Amino acid sequence: MSRLTRREFTAAAGASAAAFAAPAVAQGKGGRIVVVGGGFGGASAAKYAKMFGGDSVDVTLIEPNKTFYTCPFSNLVLGGLRDIGSIGHGFDAMKKRGVKVVQDMVTGVDHAKKTVTTAGGASIGWDRLILSPGIDFQWGKIKGYDAAAAEKIPHAWKAGPQTVLLRKQLEAMADGGVVILAPPANPFRCPPGPYERASMIAHYLKTKKPKSKVLIVDSKDKFSKMPLFLEGWKKVYGPMIEFIPQSKDGPVTEVDVGGKTVITEFGAKHKGDVVNLIPPQKAGKVADIAGVTAKSGWAPIDRRTFASTMKKDVYVIGDASIASPMPKSGFSASSQGKVVAAGVVDSLAGKAVADPSFANTCYSLVAPEYGISVAKVYAWQGGKLVGVKGSGGVSPKGAPASFRAEEARYASGWYASIAADIWG
């Protein structure tokens, strides 16, 4: 990058997202803020809403899982560079900050009464509701692939048990086997994620099962950081990774679970020893329950405030929201959570909400010592959310090994830093 160093950008972006409008809330003019979802977006929103609002706001975080496993760095578990426990985060620190953490599943939202109900029978009132439900899958879009099939052909696109399942399948595969990776069409969570996954799986195979191969059967022709990935694959893995664009065979439309075969629109059949199929996605179920999703399956928002355009006093952040040009990434979600927390606290205090500024940076590992990245600042300009010209950048092609190794170290530092900020 020719402007800021990666370390400088990451530090500055995190700071600006947290403090762009840290509000001074008048005591007694707060209210009840309920946040649903304990991932990058929701946990950031809950923490920072309590920090910004202090005693004047009552903040409740509802998350069904005691431990949240992050999709970022889950590919490293598949590559054998980390264990699953290293990407799991709890909520004890959140509780110590004064956030009420409810370990339960939301089953209903009453907008007239401004309450959410949970599977455990709780009814929790709110003045502002922040939803960060992540993603769910559009089962049935690919013939033969549903939740039951995913227990045999994992998607591993929600980190946790699925990550462990895919890792075990890779470990059990004989040397010389073929791993098929089938990414979805846009939009979906973490655009570069499938290609980092291909890299990490190839790393594992190169070190343990060098006669094996990774075949990417894609439902699109281009993908995030494509030139950088292709350059890295050629340099590190040679012919071990093969990419088949949708224009050649068509998108994946069917799967034969028993035969471990994906079938494309043009009738091509690709059989693997391990198959990782990532299905089309939509906003998490809670968004549907709350009535904030459009026909696309995603949640439309006012991109200045992230308020739902369908329900009053409800905000949708993270992967579930339609927030382009921001990508669906962990960093984006955390940045949105902090900014929206400030805006919600301001609105409860009767103050004008400032124009937002957001940030995103996304690291990907091609190999343990080979990192690539993209970064951008986003701002409200001319009545719309835009990427700020000259902000951030993309890793250069043709960089020396020392540069790639430095980016890989930055990736580890980024993960440790953002995890500590959100859940620490």
In tens, the pLDDT along 198-213 reads 999 999 999 999 999 9
Q: Please, are residues 48 and 342 in contact by the beta-carbon 8 Å criterion?
A: yes
What average pLDDT does the segment 366-376 reach? Answer: 98
Q: Where are the alpha helices (DSSP H) in 290-400?
A: 330-348
Burial zone of 67 (CB within 10 Å; 0-12 exposed, 13-18 middle, 19+ buried)? middle
What average pLDDT does the segment 3-24 reach? Answer: 44
What average pLDDT does the segment 239-260 reach? Answer: 97
Give 149-193 pLDDT, tens digit per residue: 999 999 999 999 999 999 999 999 999 999 999 999 999 999 999
Q: Give φ, ψ of 145 to 5 degrees.
A: -115, 115
Q: What is the pTM of this model?
A: 0.93
Q: What is the pLDDT of residue 94?
A: 97
* Mean pLDDT value across the chain: 94
**CATH architecture for segment(s) 139-277:** 3-Layer(bba) Sandwich (3.50)
Same fold, 6-64+104-136+281-423 and 139-277: yes
Q: What is the pLDDT of residue 25?
A: 36
Q: What is the pLDDT of residue 30?
A: 73
Q: What is the pLDDT of residue 15?
A: 42
Among 214, 225, 146, 150, smallest CA distance to 180 is for: 214
What average pLDDT does the segment 370-386 reach? Answer: 97
Q: Please, are residues 38 and 330 in contact by the beta-carbon 8 Å criterion?
A: no
The percentage of the chain sitting over the pLDDT mark of 90, rounded to a whole number, equals 93
Q: What is the pLDDT of residue 29?
A: 57
What average pLDDT does the segment 390-398 reach? Answer: 94
Residue 406 has which token pair?
């430095």
Q: What is the pLDDT of residue 16?
A: 42
Task: Write down the CATH superfamily of domain 6-64+104-136+281-423.
Answer: FAD/NAD(P)-binding domain (3.50.50.60)
What average pLDDT does the segment 29-57 reach? Answer: 95
Q: Give φ, ψ of 369 to 5 degrees.
A: -115, 30
Residue 290 clears pLDDT 80, i.e. is over it? yes
What are the residue boundaries of the structural domains of the chain, listed by start? 6-64+104-136+281-423, 139-277
C-alpha–C-alpha distance, residues 248 and 271, integer Å: 17
Under the banding of pLDDT at 50, 70 and 90, the label for residue 352 is very high
Residue 293 has which token pair?
């999703």
What average pLDDT does the segment 225-240 reach? Answer: 98
What average pLDDT does the segment 114-134 reach? Answer: 98
Q: What is the pLDDT of residue 2?
A: 35
Sign of the dihedral defined by the CA atoms of residues 268, 195, 321, 289, in that order: positive
C-alpha–C-alpha distance, residues 340 and 343, integer Å: 5
Under the banding of pLDDT at 50, 70 and 90, the label for residue 20 is very low
